[in-house]
Amino acid sequence: MYTTELQKNAQPTAVEDPARVAEFEARIARDEFIEPKDWMPEAYRRTLVRQMSQHAHSEIVGMLPEGNWITRAPSLRRKAVLLAKVQDEGGHGLYIYAAAETLGTSREQMVDALHSGKAKYSTIFNYPTLTWADIGAIGWLVDGAAIMNQVPLQRASYGPYARAMVRICKEESFHQRQGFEIMMGLAAGTAAQKRMAQDALNRWWWPSLMMFGPPDDNSPNSAQSMRWRIKRETNDELRQKFVDVTVPQAEAIGLTIPDPDLTWNEARGAYDFGAIDWDEFYAVVRGEGPTAKERLKARNDAWNEGAWVREAATAHAAKRARKAEAA
Ligand code: BYC
Return the half-sphere exposure (C-beta side, CA atoms, 13 A cut-off) of residue 78: 20
Nearest CA to ligand 1 atom 18: 4
Closest CA to 177 of 84, 241, 289: 84
Closest ligand 1 atom to 2 CA: 48
DSSP states of 67-104: HTTGGG-SSHHHHHHHHHHHHHHHHHHHHHHHHHHTTT
Q: Which of 8, 47, 122 to mutate to test the pocket of ligand 1 (most atoms within 8 A of CB)?
A: 122
Q: How far apart are CA 70 and CA 60, in angstroms?
A: 16
CA distances, 247 to each of 110, 142, 148, 244, 256 (Å): 37, 14, 14, 6, 9
pLDDT tens-digit profile, the chain (327 residues): 344 555 554 444 568 999 999 999 999 999 999 999 999 999 999 999 999 999 999 999 999 999 999 999 999 999 999 999 999 999 999 999 999 999 999 999 999 999 999 999 999 999 999 999 999 999 999 999 999 999 999 999 999 999 999 999 999 999 999 999 999 999 999 999 999 999 999 999 999 999 999 999 999 999 999 999 999 999 999 999 999 999 999 999 999 999 999 999 999 999 999 999 999 999 999 999 999 999 999 999 999 999 999 999 999 999 999 999 998
Q: What is the DSSP letter of 158?
A: B
Tens of pLDDT, residue by residue over 94-125, are 999 999 999 999 999 999 999 999 999 999 99
Those residues with Cβ within 8 angstroms of residue 73's Cβ, 6 or more apart along the chain or in another chain: 79, 82, 132, 135
Distance 58 CA to ligand 1 centre (A): 9
pTM for this model (two decimals): 0.94
Closest CA to 157 of 56, 237, 45, 240: 45
* pLDDT, position 327: 86
